[in-house]
Chains A and B, each alone.
Chain A
């Protein structure tokens, strides 16, 4: 019974992101069912859905970090794209200086870039937790200066990773290529695999540790958390460290996809999408309880939205405005206010139905209608309780 209630609560959390996702899926289905087709091309799965999963990788990983930072610090980290640019600059620098891009040097480079990510996270985390700077302001510092730092690291020339000799045009042979596309004989693209592994590790950490409890309690009420022996400073610092690792992984994937390090444009506006994904995921941007599942679905939803707009042949000039309008509609339709309102209308309808029934009207129809209504209204109740 308790489990049932927990499940219901979880589902109610996911109503917002799932309804948005379903709306987009329906639009794509109406546009044409080929959206769901998957074929084998060059030994790998190909189709809009595999491409979607591939392109959303960096966003999903950064969204996980963003959800944690938002929950604990009640603010957002807007330096993530820049952070990923710096960590990937460190990665590229290491691999190029190591002489050859072998599996060993790439793994070592990745680990070093993770250390760089931790340093960035520690920098932001210190500003936020120790000096109590607002997260958005603290990370603004890196947002403004970070790309110059990346330029200094990568030697200002947007260096290239090791690339295949032209004899083998069309075949991906280097390891960096395989990380950016597919590993030999594996039909799923490497970014998708890396993302899945990352999600699995995050889920495992949340399952086996008290991280979720600590983060949520700090986000809901830092003073109360402190009185209960949880140090808000340490927890907020920790979430920024985790964010640092997320940026390193995202930067690693992005730079291998692009095959070269472009300090000016790498993951330039991704913080906007990550914050939006957290919000679409049904999370409050002012901290507290969070749902990573929702945030991840939100990230895939955003990627699907841009894919959908391209499929709908929206004019190039109007694309951005269209996207904004779309997001507004989705958020409003799925917002608690509208859901509350819908719930009230349902209740009103039920009352009328009941009146009709007591008068002795259409029995069978009302009979099937009533249970449906309670089912629909069911998940809404915990949401109300929460607020």
Chain B
């Protein structure tokens, strides 16, 4: 008898220990701690100024103070990204946010997330897969950006509009989208592309500068430079400066850049350039809003983005929406 009771006591003790242990391990997964578990798979901040702002926004929004328990993996290697995503699925996160390096190869991962009941939200970059494999995608519509910018060029009412097109990395989503509207406008006879160049895979300032220099050397007459990012617009303007061609608000050549770098916005503000088109890296706030409201949209959602000109730019826009370092009011960047 005595032996039996002691045995029972031991068993009870073990059960008690195990159950408390299970309670402790089980807790964070449920809502006892009240934090929403989020796994973020992103690209590394050193990729670009855009990504820098993007990662920063993710860090700020998905913080414990805002009620999130977030884990982040920032890598430019697609297989590492997939491995990280699978890890988060095993961990049992509530939401999985992905900005994929490659648009393909994600099907299995997305399906297993779906099976586990995890809501997948893509941001910034789309994935080539069936829409049913993810909840929603919050993207920048490059074609929309190109259309806004081209509409601005046409609204200048220059007769004729002779445009130098400086593309980004050929074949990239941004290049295709931002070129589309311009090429269409040329087809419709609304403007003429007198020089068509690229800054290459690094969207290089120097290459862009050479494109404009070649156009000047060939005595091509142009009055708009449409550079698909700010660095390339900067290179283009350097070429104009060296050749003594006026540009900006009161100048001959109108300059438009993309991406909303703060230095570019200050240049627009100073009338050194003419316009800039936003490419918003701060999807985090919008996604958080969706999660907190419990009303998740489905399918692809495009962000609304701004185009600023010398007339519409304000300090507030530069503060709130600009990316990278601010040179300070009144300063221009050559």
Which one of A130-138, A254-262, A275-283, A325-333 is at the B interface? A254-262
B residues 157-214 in Cβ contact with A at 8 Å: 167, 170, 196-198, 200-207, 209-211, 213-214
The answer to the question of A121 belonging to the interface, with a C-beta cut-off of 8 Å to chain B, is no
The answer to the question of B258 belonging to the interface, with a C-beta cut-off of 8 Å to chain A, is no
Chain A neighbourhood of B334, CB < 8 A: 163-164, 172, 177, 180-181, 259
| C-alpha spacing A159/B327, complex, angstroms | 8
Interface string of B3-44 (1 = CB under 8 A from A): 000000000000000000000000000000000000000001
Known pairs A34-B217, A268-B204, A311-B217; A166 contacts B46 (CB<8 A): no
Name the residue among B44, B201, B217, B271 with the largest chain A CB count within 10 angstroms: B217
B49 touches A51 (CB 8 A): no
Chain A neighbourhood of B238, CB < 8 A: 257
The answer to the question of B270 belonging to the interface, with a C-beta cut-off of 8 Å to chain A, is yes
- Chain A nearest CB from B255 CB (Å) reads 13
The answer to the question of B332 belonging to the interface, with a C-beta cut-off of 8 Å to chain A, is yes
| C-alpha spacing A51/B211, complex, angstroms | 12
Chain A neighbourhood of B270, CB < 8 A: 166, 169
- Chain B nearest CB from A295 CB (Å) reads 20
A166 touches B331 (CB 8 A): yes
A316 touches B263 (CB 8 A): no
The answer to the question of B241 belonging to the interface, with a C-beta cut-off of 8 Å to chain A, is yes
Closest residue of chain B to A145 (Cβ to Cβ) is B46
Chain B neighbourhood of A151, CB < 8 A: 45-46
The answer to the question of B281 belonging to the interface, with a C-beta cut-off of 8 Å to chain A, is no
Cβ-neighbour of B243 out of A46, A316, A319 (below 8 A): A46
Known pairs A148-B44, A164-B334, A169-B271; A265 contacts B325 (CB<8 A): no
Interface string of A133-176 (1 = CB under 8 A from B): 00000000000000110110001111110011110011010000
Cβ-neighbour of A158 out of B47, B49, B196 (below 8 A): B49
A166 touches B272 (CB 8 A): yes
The answer to the question of A347 belonging to the interface, with a C-beta cut-off of 8 Å to chain B, is no
B325 touches A160 (CB 8 A): yes
B202 touches A160 (CB 8 A): no
B243 touches A265 (CB 8 A): no
A265 touches B204 (CB 8 A): yes
- Chain B nearest CB from A48 CB (Å) reads 5
- Chain A nearest CB from B125 CB (Å) reads 17
Interface string of B66-91 (1 = CB under 8 A from A): 00000000000000000000000000
Chain A neighbourhood of B209, CB < 8 A: 55
Category for how many chain B residues contact A: 35 or more
Closest residue of chain B to A51 (Cβ to Cβ) is B213
The answer to the question of A42 belonging to the interface, with a C-beta cut-off of 8 Å to chain B, is yes
Known pairs A35-B217, A151-B45, A307-B214; A265 contacts B244 (CB<8 A): no
A269 touches B202 (CB 8 A): yes
Interface string of A224-260 (1 = CB under 8 A from B): 0000000000000000000000000000000001111
Known pairs A46-B242, A268-B202; A156 contacts B45 (CB<8 A): yes
Name the residue among B242, B325, B334 with the largest chain A CB count within 10 angstroms: B334
Q: Which 4 A-B pairs have the closest CB atoms?
A: A166-B270, A310-B214, A157-B325, A268-B202
Give me the interface of B with A, judged by CB distance under 8 Å: 44-49, 52, 167, 170, 196-198, 200-207, 209-211, 213-214, 217-219, 231, 234, 238, 241-244, 246, 248, 261, 263, 270-272, 324-325, 327, 330-334
Give me the interface of A with B, judged by CB distance under 8 Å: 34-35, 41-42, 44, 46-48, 51, 55, 147-148, 150-151, 155-160, 163-166, 169-170, 172, 177, 180-181, 257-260, 262-265, 268-269, 306-307, 310-311, 313, 315-317, 319-320
A257-B238, A260-B325 given; 19 more Cβ-contact pairs under 8 Å: A34-B217, A42-B242, A42-B244, A46-B243, A48-B213, A156-B45, A157-B324, A158-B324, A163-B331, A164-B331, A164-B332, A166-B332, A258-B234, A263-B46, A268-B201, A269-B200, A269-B202, A311-B217, A316-B198
Can you report 18 residue pairs joining A to B where beta carbons are below 8 Å apart?
A: A34-B219, A35-B217, A156-B52, A158-B49, A160-B325, A165-B332, A166-B331, A169-B270, A169-B271, A169-B332, A177-B334, A259-B234, A260-B333, A262-B205, A269-B202, A310-B210, A315-B196, A316-B196
